[in-house]
């Protein structure tokens, strides 16, 4: 597991804490339409308030292309955060310089201030050291609670840690702990459920997983490609004909590594993709030439459920069928309910992530039944691919405590 400090390692009373969060929330007509990212940051913010810190929040919002743009102002987010905290949240119209310094100077212990969008400066996405130093000059310590952008080498995520003692917030700590338990030091047997449309977008993920998991369950369009690679006819189903050799190589490597790749024994097919379209379940080797595979069959679902019942750890990335279009959501729904049930009964540790995965689990009504559900998207995927995340590495190698020794316990 990564070696990093957390806010529990700090004495924060009276200190200005620069807190990096991901408040890149959807906003329509000045109103937040999904406050999930704000809600998930609350434990860290409340812990800092309780510790008597002056909480100064940094975030990006949208893609303003390195210049101020009212459309991408974080001002509406300050109001949204205030309503969730049930406390006043001040807003500064810049994230560096005199405007930010004046706003911070007016703060009392326990106050919360949101600075304007860091991406209003092109230096942010360039990971510019001078810009990071200007950010760092505003505070005494840096807390990163934005795992969702930990894969991005940007000034308020990476370079800033060179100038301040830097620790993980509650959400970052929770995410890293969960992912470590799932993939770095998991209880075995370990199964991975991987779906989605294309192998080509998840090559690194597949190649990493086959070296670490005991069972790799494939679904969605990528399973069709593996089936075609084994010589099965997949009709008009979505698959990547140019990736068949790659799929064969992955299967050969998996066998050599002792990883069992599970492909569906039967599938649900139809001649068109539309809600409640006429469909049938057929064996995996009996797909009609004019049909398309849209979901797992009943035997495939039963086999997956029986396999998961023998596991200790399950990780999930990608839906196993076209869950957005009933009745082709049945397979993903049933497997999701099974994972949630095994989790609830303490049989498995389950970790899931990725935008489509979160949507699929929400559709199945089991988002609260997963041990840890990551909303980090690209960062979650890169972690699962075995890549080092710049934002996490920065926490491990943060600035020594020169002026900060009095804060680090």
Active site residues: 37, 198, 355, 378
**According to DSSP H, which parts of 258-345 are helical?**
298-308, 330-344
Q: How far apart are CA 319 and CA 358, in angstroms?
A: 9
What does the block give as tokens for 70? Answer: 């009212």
Helix axes 244-257, 220-229, angle to 10 degrees: 90
Q: Side-chain half-sphere of 13: how many Cα atoms within 13 Å?
A: 1
Burial class (CB in 10 A: 0-12, 13-18, 19+), 258: exposed
The structure tokens listed for 232 are 């099965």
Residues 6+ apart with CB under 8 A from 380: 147, 179, 317, 353, 354, 374
Q: Residues, the chain, total?
A: 409
Q: For residues 278 and 320, give the distance between their C-alpha atoms in angstroms, rounded to a whole number.
A: 20
The helix (run of H) or strand (run of E) holding residue 105 is helix 97-105
Q: Which of 163, 51, 25 is nearest to 112 (CA)?
A: 51
Element (H, E) at 314: strand 313-317
Compute the distance between CA of residue 219 and CA of residue 43 in angstroms, rounded to an integer: 36
Distance CA 221, CA 183 (A): 24
């Amino acid at each position: 597991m990564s070696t990093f400090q957390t806010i529990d390692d700090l004495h924060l009373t009276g200190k200005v804490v620069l807190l990096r969060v991901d408040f890149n929330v959807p906003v329509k007509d000045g109103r937040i339409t999904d406050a999930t990212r704000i809600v998930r940051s609350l434990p860290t913010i409340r812990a800092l308030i309780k510790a008597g810190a002056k909480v100064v929040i940094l975030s990006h919002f949208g893609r303003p292309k390195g210049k101020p743009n009212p459309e991408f102002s974080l001002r509406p987010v300050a109001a949204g955060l205030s309503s969730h905290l049930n406390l006043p949240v001040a807003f500064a119209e810049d994230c560096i310089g005199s405007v930010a310094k004046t706003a911070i100077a007016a703060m009392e212990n326990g106050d919360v201030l949101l600075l304007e969008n860091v991406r209003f400066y092109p230096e942010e996405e360039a990971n510019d050291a001078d810009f990071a130093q200007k950010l760092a000059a505003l505070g005494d310590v840096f807390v990163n609670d934005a795992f969702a952008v930990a894969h991005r080498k940007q000034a308020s995520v990476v370079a800033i840690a060179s100038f301040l003692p830097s620790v993980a917030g509650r959400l970052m700590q929770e995410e890293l702990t969960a992912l470590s338990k799932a993939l770095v030091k998991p209880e075995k047997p370990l199964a991975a459920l991987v779906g989605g449309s294309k192998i080509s977008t998840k090559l690194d993920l597949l190649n990493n997983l086959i070296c670490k998991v005991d069972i790799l369950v494939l679904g969605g369009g990528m399973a069709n490609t593996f089936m075609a690679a084994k010589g099965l006819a997949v009709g008009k189903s979505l698959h990547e004909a140019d990736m068949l050799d790659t799929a064969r190589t992955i299967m050969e490597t998996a066998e050599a590594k002792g990883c069992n790749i599970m492909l569906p024994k039967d599938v649900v097919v139809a001649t068109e993709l539309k809600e409640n379209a006429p469909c049938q379940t057929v064996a995996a080797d009996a797909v009609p030439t004019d049909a398309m595979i849209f979901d797992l069959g009943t035997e495939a679902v039963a086999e997956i459920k029986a396999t998961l019942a023998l596991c200790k750890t399950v990780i999930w990335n990608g839906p196993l069928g076209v869950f957005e279009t009933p009745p082709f959501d049945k397979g993903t729904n049933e497997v999701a309910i099974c994972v949630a049930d095994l989790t609830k009964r303490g049989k498995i540790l389950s970790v899931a992530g990725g935008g489509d995965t979160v949507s699929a689990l929400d559709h199945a009504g089991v988002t609260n039944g997963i041990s840890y559900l990551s909303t980090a998207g690209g960062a979650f995927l890169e972690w699962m691919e075995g890549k080092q995340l710049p934002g996490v590495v920065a926490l491990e190698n943060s600035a020594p405590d020169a002026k900060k020794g009095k804060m680090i316990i």
